[in-house]
A and B are shown apart, each in its own frame.
Chain A
């Protein structure tokens, strides 16, 4: 785990967050907004609430906020928040999700669960992988959403 924590603090991971993750965030926003007209864009206070909840409580708070907002009646907001909710889900197998982008980067540090000899070992590996993923996600989440929010605001301004 120490080697893993060193990796998360390294410039390799910093460069990943600065460039690869930024390109991924921009790409995600472009795909999300490509068919938007100006009226589809969220107001900036809603967007800013993302940074605020991440600062306050990381992934858990963002998950709560997006689920809560997705249940509200405003259709414009509903589709955005539903998207965020599924995009950040930790166990997502979707290649275009945030957690999958992190998981792919961490692949060399994650053990193969299917290679475990028995259930006990499988569960142990699963738990370890989950912990590792959670650590990286908590570190990358604020920066990822900084990229996401700024690019979203820029797309809205270009309309």
Chain B
């Protein structure tokens, strides 16, 4: 399997820095909603275990589908899905027509983005509890 080279890796890092403010907003939005610890842990766990980008999108949609009270996933899903769409567009651009690279870049970007979102969600929750 081809590996992502250093120059693409650097471009990914720069991109992740650029989208950081947006990830923070998503984390803040989540902190203002009624998310249980197990829900965010489940999301975190999926991000690390999945090998397929679309599984992350599908997870968010499925959780929104289960959110009968419309107090958590339904509210934040549009933000998360829109941000993932931006990641996917960037992955296609950086993958430069190579399907193998594109798949790897997509999942790597999604994992790093997820870390940003969840870290900020936890930080914001801590601040709200002060």
**A residues neighboring B (CB under 8 Å):** 10-12, 14-15, 17-19, 22, 44, 143, 146-147, 149-154, 156-158
- Kindly list chain A residues whose C-beta atoms are within 8 Å of the C-beta of B99: 10-12, 14-15
Q: Do the beta carbons of B58 and A157 come within 8 Å of each other?
A: no
B-to-A contact residues, CB < 8 Å: 52-55, 57-62, 64-67, 70, 73-74, 77, 88, 99-100, 102-103, 106
Which of the residues A22, A153, A156 comes within 8 Å of B54, measured between beta carbons? Answer: A22
Q: How far is the CA of A48 from the CA of B43 in the complex (A)?
A: 20
Residues of A within 8 A of B53 (CB): 18-19
A154 with B65, Cβ < 8 A, contacts A15-B99, A18-B103, A19-B88 known:
yes
Asked if A150 and B62 sit within 8 Å, CB to CB, the answer is: yes
Q: Pick the contact of A150 from B65, B67, B88, B102 — CB < 8 Å? A: B65
Complex Cα distance A149/B66, Å? 12
Q: A18-B54, A146-B55, A158-B74 are known contacts; what are 16 more A-B pairs with Cβ within 8 Å?
A: A11-B99, A14-B99, A15-B103, A17-B54, A18-B52, A19-B54, A44-B65, A146-B54, A147-B58, A149-B62, A150-B58, A150-B59, A150-B65, A153-B62, A154-B64, A157-B77
Q: How far, in angstroms, from A12 to B102 measured CA to CA in the complex?
A: 10
**Chain A residues with CB below 8 A from B55, complex form:** 146
Interface centre among A14, A15, A152 (most CB of B within 10 A): A15
